[in-house]
Chain A
Amino acid sequence: AQTVTQSQPEMSVQEAETVTLSCTYDTSESDYYLFWYKQPPSRQMILVIRQEAYKQQNATENRFSVNFQKAAKSFSLKISDSQLGDAAMYFCAYSSPGGSQGNLIFGKGTKLSVKP
C-alpha cells in the first residue's frame, strides 16, 4: 500500500523569505501523480501544484515549485517570496493513475506560519 509522510508538523517563515516543506512517499508503482494541497483556516482544500511521475522536469506554479526526486521518493515544496496569505496547512498527496482508483492518499500535513 502507498504511504505519504510529512515529517514537519509545523514550519515558520518570515514574510518575503523562502521555505521548503518536505514530503516522502512509498510506492511500488512507476506511474503516479503527486500533489501539494493547501488548506487555509476556511477549510477549503486548494490544489497548489501537481507533478506527474513520468515527467523529470519539476513542476512550477508562480512562487511555488517542487523538487521531485523519484528514486529517493521525495517530493518537497518550495515557496518563494512568502506572503501572509500562504499561512495554512499544506498536505502532500499521492494518486494512482488508474481509472478505478481516483482517491488521494494524504500525509498528515504541515502547518505553515508566516511572520510579518
Chain B
Amino acid sequence: ETGVTQSPTHLIKTRGQQVTLRCSSQSGHNTVSWYQQALGQGPQFIFQYYREEENGRGNFPPRFSGLQFPNYSSELNVNALELDDSALYLCASSFLTRTVNTGELFFGEGSRLTVL
C-alpha cells in the first residue's frame, strides 16, 4: 500500500510569485485535503477535493486554488505569494462517500514553503 507523497519537500519563493505543490493520495482513497501549518500552530484546513471537485473550503482567499485529477492526485496553487504564506503545507487523503465520513485522514510529510 502506497502512502501519501508530496513534492517538493522544501522550496523558497519570493513575494508575489506563484507556487504549485503536488500530492499523490494513498491507494484506494478518493479524497484529498490540504492544510496549512504555520510554525508552532496546528494545521488549518484550506480545502478538500472529492471526485475532482472542491468539497469544502476553509477561511483562505481565492488565490489559494487546487485541482484533483482522475487518479485522485492533487495540486495546491498559491498565487501572489505573501510573507505570511510561509508554512508547512500538508496533504491528506481519505476515503469518503456522500453519506459517510469517518474524518480519519492519512497525511503526507508536507512541503515546507518559505516566502522571502
- Among B50, B88, B90, B108, point to the contact of A102 (Cβ < 8 A): B50
Q: Which of A12-20, A68-76, A78-86, A105-113 contacts B (4 or more CB under 8 A)?
A: A105-113
Is B45 a contact partner of A47 (Cβ separation < 8 A)?
no
Q: Is the CB of B56 within 8 A of A106?
A: no
> CB-CB < 8 A to A43: which residues of B?
88, 109-110
Q: Determine whether A116 belongs to the interface, using a CB cutoff of 8 Å to chain B.
A: no
Interface stretch, picked from B15-23, B64-72, B77-85, B97-105, is: B97-105
Dominant secondary structure of chain B at its interface with chain A? loop
A103 to B94, CA, bound (A): 10
Known: A102-B50, A102-B103. A108 touches B42 (CB 8 A): yes
Are A102 and B42 within 8 A (Cβ)?
no
Chain A, Cβ-Cβ closest to B107:
A45
Q: Counting CB contacts under 8 A, is A28 at the interface?
A: no
How far apart sit A105 and B33, CA to CA, in the bound complex (Å)? 12
Given contacts A43-B88, A108-B42, A109-B42, contact A99 B104 (CB under 8 A): no
Bound Cα distance A107, B43 (Å): 8
If A45-B90, A102-B50 touch, does A35 touch B104 (CB 8 Å cutoff)?
yes
Shortest distance from the beta carbon of A103 to any chain B beta carbon, whole Å: 4
* Interface: B113 (CB within 8 A): no
Given contacts A97-B103, A102-B56, contact A107 B42 (CB under 8 A): yes
User: Which of B33, B42, B97 meets A99, CB within 8 Å?
Assistant: B97
Q: How far is the CA of A2 from the CA of B96 in the complex (A)?
A: 21
Within 8 Å of chain A (Cβ to Cβ): is B41?
yes
Q: What are 27 of the A-B contact pairs (CB < 8 Å)?
A: A33-B103, A43-B88, A43-B110, A45-B105, A45-B107, A47-B104, A50-B102, A91-B42, A93-B42, A95-B103, A97-B101, A97-B103, A98-B101, A101-B56, A102-B48, A102-B55, A102-B56, A102-B96, A103-B33, A103-B48, A103-B56, A103-B58, A104-B103, A104-B105, A105-B45, A107-B42, A109-B42
8 interchain residue pairs of minimum CB distance: A95-B103, A106-B42, A45-B107, A103-B45, A33-B103, A44-B109, A99-B98, A99-B101
